Amino acid sequence: MSERSGAKDVPLAAEREQAFWDGVQESRRFFKGEADVQQALERLARLLEDNAIPYAIVDAMALNEWGYRRVTVDVDLLLTREGLKALKDVALGRGYVEKFPGSRGLRDAAAGVTIDVLLAGEYPGDGKPKPVAFPDPGQAAVRGQRVALLPLPALIELKLASGTSAPHRLKDLADVLELIRALSLPRATAQSLDPSVRDKFEERWQAARSRRARVTTPLIASPVTE
């Protein structure tokens, strides 16, 4: 390696190290409830509720609300097409901008947090028609501790349908496994799901039980009951 090449590597390594420690610090803030994404979520929920726009928070922030804690940097929001129009009418130019011109997604300008929008009636994963679709939040959402969410069975259905149909969404299957472990979901949960995803839930449930069996420290493992 030449001196010139080595000199280039030094600042690059320093940048990577700084990015790592920035990530550690943001994770600490997240688990304290002080991260930018959490503040952005609360502002967004207030805006939606003040304007009577039906919504549901989905994906990672919803997982946190249901009890499976994992860090994320964006907000996933379920709306109807009418709700999206209403949100843009009251949000754009008032602290929010489009991700790019004409996009359905938004960005909280103050926090720099991306808000990805999913629409009722569309399909998870590969986007192709399937028995599980994104529901109308006005009919399906339930009130969480801070925001409106999809019921846990609906969230699980969407993640299973997504991870099964789209190779780039395998994290959704991992999320279901971790939900099972974190919430000690019983095997009978499958009966509350759409028949098209019950076998996949059973597979995830068995994987969670097998994983627990390999863990010898009780403080680490969450029980999985039938």
Q: 35 pLDDT exceeds 90?
A: no
The pLDDT, as a whole number, for residue 223 is 45
- Let me know if 133 is exposed, middle or buried by CB neighbors in 10 A (0-12, 13-18, 19+): middle
The pTM for the full model equals: 0.81
Mean pLDDT is lowest, of 25-34, 65-74, 85-94, 181-190, for 25-34
Mean pLDDT is lowest, of 11-25, 47-61, 106-120, 128-142, for 11-25
Q: 191 pLDDT exceeds 80?
A: yes
The pLDDT, as a whole number, for residue 5 is 54
* Four-point Cα dihedral 100, 102, 107, 112, nearest 10: 10
Q: 73 pLDDT exceeds 80?
A: yes
Q: Alpha helix locations (H) across 32-151?
A: 36-50, 59-66, 81-91, 137-140
For residues 96-125, give the mean pLDDT.
97
Q: What is the average pLDDT score of the chain?
A: 87
Between residues 30 and 127, the one the model is more confident about: 127
